[in-house]
Each structure stands twice: as structure tokens, then as C-alpha cells.
Chain A
Amino acid sequence: MSSVIEIILNGLITGSIYALVGSGIALVYGTTRVLNFAHGELMMIAGYLVLFFAVTLELNVALASFLTLVLVGGAGALIQRATIAPLLARNDWAFQVIAATIGLSIALQSAAQLVWGEQFRTLPYFFSGVAVIGDIRMPWQRIAILVFAVLIMSLCAFVLYRTPLGRMVRATAQDAEAALAVGIPSGLVHTAVFAISAVLAGAGAILLSPLVTVNPWMGVAYLLKGFAVVILGGLGSFGGAVAAGFLLGMIESVGVAFAPTEWRDVIAFTFLIIVIWFRPNGLFAGREG
């Protein structure tokens, strides 16, 4: 019984990170139809930033996280302005944006490798101790991931569906030109959406950094999972991506209970392809999809 609960709990924790990363990608895709292959590198940048603030400058964890999120949001906006916005006017932009962001992704990885070297570093746990409920033992740090991820995504959903900014985002998603005609600065909204998406990725990286190592390639694995989540959730649907993130985490968690750990990603991606085979629009094909 306790092992079943542990599987579920682990699935939820992994899933919450996938949901954070995937919902960021979905938000950008849903609003601008752009698939950002450098999304994983935003996580990587956030990982190094939080390391710098919390370990090198020895700042308080909350302050370090806040500064990291602000800066990574800025980095997201900068990437959108510098590489993506100029391409959107072209004919074949969909593939050109994919190609340019792949190039950007590998360039950022190499740059990080040159600046920080190859040493893998980890942050100390933000929360010490282990929660004991019956015979289940779970470090508080892992539970914190779940709690904070859900809080951040709820906040994001609130902004999206209950605030003027969210209304502008949704209007731009439906028809950027019509939105522009009624006075919504669509270009700025696109940049803002990118910044929010970067903050979601950064939050994922901060929550993960005590558990995994910060290294130039840390974004790659989560980018692929994020993409899987976005497709499973129905391209561009924020809620669908969140649901699919938890589902994928759960499937991996159950899969690993029956198969060796190294097959975890094979299980996840095979599931993706099987789903696409039967439901090309994803499991939760959204209204916007």
C-alpha cells in the first residue's frame, strides 16, 4: 500500500516539473504559434543564476530565487526580441524559428560550457528533514517542489484568466491582428508571454537545482519532456499541458516500478508516439488547439 502511495507521490512530483516546463512552452505556442527549442536553456541559465546568488553571493534563498526569476524573465524577453520577433514577418517562419532556436539552444549550451566549465554543481537543500507519514518517508525538499509548482501554475492561470494582461494574451492568441486593431500591443504581449514562459522554466530549474546538478546540458532532457507534455495536452492549451505534465510524470513513475530505471524515457516517449497515433490532436485537445 505504502509503495503505491509512494509511486503516486513521486509521479506527482516529477509531473509537477514537467507541467511547469510544458505549460511555459504551451503558453508561448498557444499565443504566438512559436515552438521555442531554447526553452531548456532558459532553465539552464536560471540554474546557474540561482547558484550564483545563493552559493557564490550567499544570499537568502527566497531573495536569490526572486532575482533569478526576474533575470530569467528578462532573458526570455530578450531572446524573443532578438531572435524570434524579426523572423515572424517571413513566409516560412515556422521552420525558421525552429531552426534558429535550435541553433540558439546549442550556442547557449556551448557558451555555458566555456564560461562555467564542465563541473557539475548542486545547490544545498532549501528545506531540510524528511516528512514521515505512516511508513512513507519523503524529503521535504521534494514535497516543496510539488507545492511550489502548483502554487506557481495557479498564479499563472489566475493571471491568464482573471487579469487585464491575461485578457490581452488570450485576445492576441485568438487573432493578433484583430487584437492590434482594438489597441492591444500584440508585439509587446508576445514578448510578455515569452517572459512569463521563461519565469515558469526558471521556477522549474530553481525547484530542481538542489536535486539535480546544474550543468550546461540540464535543459535538454526537460525540453523534450516539455514538448511531449505540450503535444499530449493538445498544442497550445495551458490547462492541457498542466494535466499532461502530471499524467506523464505518473506514467514514468508507474513504468519505473515495473521496468529498470534506464527505460524511463523510452516509456515516456513511446507513450507519446502511441497517443499521437490514435489521437493526433493530443489527449486534451484544447479549445485553442
Chain B
Amino acid sequence: MLEVFGRRPYLVLLGIAACLLVVPFLPLNDYILHILTIFLIFAIFASGWNLTLGMLGLKTLGHHAFFAIGAYISAIVAYYGGISPWLTIWVGALTAAIAGVIIGFPILRIRSMPHVAIVTLAFAEIVRLIFSNLKEITRGELGFWGIPTFDPIHIGDMTLRFGVGNAVGSYALAAVFFVTVHIALLALLTSRTGLTFFAIRDAEAAAESLGVHLSRWKIFAFALSAGVVGLSGAIYAHYVMILTPISVAGPEMLITLLAMIIVGGVGRFFGPVYGALLLTVASEMLREFGDFRMLLYGTGIIFFVFVAPQGLAALKLRQRRGTTSRT
């Protein structure tokens, strides 16, 4: 368990939450808050994907499809139905979870990693093309714009507004979702459920022989993982207020998020969070170089696979182990 969560994971999470709480009181401009908001949303996405990729050991490559489903379904229901995004994000997340079950079923019978990778990748391509081709509803690649933002919240005299242009409110919202989702995931994964996941990952046949119902657990993990990713997509949609199929379900999204998880550490609880922070900030700093961004992600993946396949989270752990092992 130590190698997944590190020492005192709740304390680490509390520390991250405290840092997040301080940020709005720092003299930061809106642009930096925007970058941090994107980081928080991508961190939820990456942690959600890590459930199947790292925790259960199912090497899926199509989770950007669930991000797109969460984003588009929530946006469509809110836009055409006139329903508050506070409600529609759950519709988006639920739809993504259902999609997770649908693609989870054919995957159940497959134990070969390449099959899983290719089938999930093909699924993501189907989802991208569907949103791209349903032009009457989504306007295709022209972009689905005019997505409503979260309704403002009134606290006493203060009104908290959301969406691009309302940096503080958007940041606070993303931070609340980030902390809530991570507390929930931590509670779940440190419980019996987490043990079952790791048992399936490390010794599938042995787990099965001990009475673990493999297919049920895999479907559950798929649905949960897809639901979390879908939720992050829905939050993203009502934040940026415009979606295009290629930007949310295209190969760049896959590469970006995969790089975050690998750089941070596949199968480490906090890995994706560190990876998301590092790469969101690094890629913003390289924005003026434009075309170099994807080169950074690509070479970053190769570098980490070769030098530190366990990611940033493991580097820190190894150091700590070294200092404590002597006592």
C-alpha cells in the first residue's frame, strides 16, 4: 500500500488542500488562476483514468472519450434543456459511467494488453467522430459555443461567479471538486475495494481463486473511472464554455493526459496530480514556442519511461525509504 499512497496520504491531501486554499489570497493575476484551474480539472481527469490504468492495471487508452462524453452531454443538456449546470454535470458523469460499462464489457473477456489498448482507442475515435458528425446539435468542428456557466452562488453580500473571465470563482469551484473527488477516491482505495483492485492488478488468477468476482470488479472500476473522468469533462465544458470534438477527444488530449500520468507515476495515488501540475505549468511556460508543446509531451513520455518509469511520485518515495530504513 505504501508504494501506492506514500506515507500518510490523508495528511498529504490536507497539505495540498491547504495550499489550494491559500492561492486565492495571493496576489496572483487571472491568467495564473486560469492555469491552476486547468491543472485541477486535468488532475481529476488523470486520477480518474489512473483507476483503470494504474490501480487495476487495465491499460486503457481511450479515456479522453469519457472526458468528451461528460463535457458534451452536460453542455448539450444544459444548453438545449435550459437546466442548471449544477445538475447537468451529474448527467454528464453518469452518461460517461454508462459508456464505461458499455466499453467495459467487450474488454472483460480480453486479457491481452494490446487488445485493451486498441479497442479503447477505437472507442475514443468513434466518440470523437459522433460528436463531430452530429453537426445539427454540436456544430461539429466549428465548435459548440454558448455553453452556460455554473449559476452564481450568493454568500451574504458576496456573489461568486464562474466560467472563463471569473478566475477566482472558477478556481474555487475546481479546487472544491478536486479535493472532494480525491478524498472520495482515497477513502475508496484505502478500503477493501482498493485491496481488491491491487489484488486483481498484481495477481489476477490468484484473486479469482480467492473468490474475487473479476468481471464485476472490472466493470465497477470502468464505470467509476469513466464517471470521474466524465465529471472532469463536464466541469471543463462549463468553465471554457466552448467545445470542439478534436480538442476534447482528439489525440492531443490522449497524449497530454497520458504524459501527466506517466510523468507523475502510473499506479501512484498522487502521481497524476504531480504530473498534471508539472506539465500544465511547463506547457504554459512553453506556450510562446507553440509547436514545441507536443514535442515536450512526447519526449517527456519517452524520457520518463526510460529513466523513471514509476514517475515523480516514486522518486520521492525512494528517498524517504532510504532515510527511514536505518532507524
Contact = CB atoms under 8 A, between A and B. Distances in A.
B125 A100 contact: no
Given A99-B258, A263-B129, A269-B126, A109 B118 contact: no
B302 A98 contact: no
A272 B293 CA distance: 33
B146 interface: no
- With most chain A CB atoms within 10 A of its CB, the pick from B133, B254, B309 is B309
A18 B59 CA distance: 25
A269 B295 contact: no
Looking at chain A's contact residues, the main secondary structure is helix
Interface stretch (B34-42, B107-115, B203-211, B313-321): B107-115
Interface residues of A, number: 44
A98 to B, nearest CB: 6
Interface stretch (A85-93, A189-197, A204-212): A85-93
A269 B130 CA distance: 12
B302 A104 contact: yes
Interface in A63-122: 83, 86-87, 90, 92, 94-96, 98-100, 102-111, 113-114
A262 interface: yes
Contacts of A45: none
Contacts of A180: none
A35 to B, nearest CB: 5
Interface in B50-109: 59, 61, 103, 105-106, 109
Contact of B255 (A86, A106, A108, A114): A106
Classify chain B's interface size. Answer: 35 or more
Interface in B284-298: 291-295, 297-298
B262 interface: yes
Contacts of A6: none
A98 B117 contact: yes
B301 A103 contact: yes
Contacts of A277: 105-106
- With most chain B CB atoms within 10 A of its CB, the pick from A90, A94, A113, A273 is A273
A48 interface: no
A96 B291 contact: no
Contact of B122 (A29, A102, A113, A224): A224
B185 interface: no
Contacts of A114: 291-292, 295
Given A96-B305, A113-B291, A224-B121, A276 B297 contact: no
A86 B119 CA distance: 27
B152 interface: no
Interface of A: 29, 35, 83, 86-87, 90, 92, 94-96, 98-100, 102-111, 113-114, 220, 224, 227-228, 230-231, 235, 260, 262-263, 265-266, 269-270, 272-273, 276-277, 280
Interface of B: 59, 61, 103, 105-106, 109-110, 112-115, 117-119, 121-123, 125-126, 129-130, 132-133, 251, 254-255, 258-259, 262, 266, 291-295, 297-302, 305-306, 309
5 contacts: A99-B305, A100-B305, A106-B295, A106-B298, A231-B114
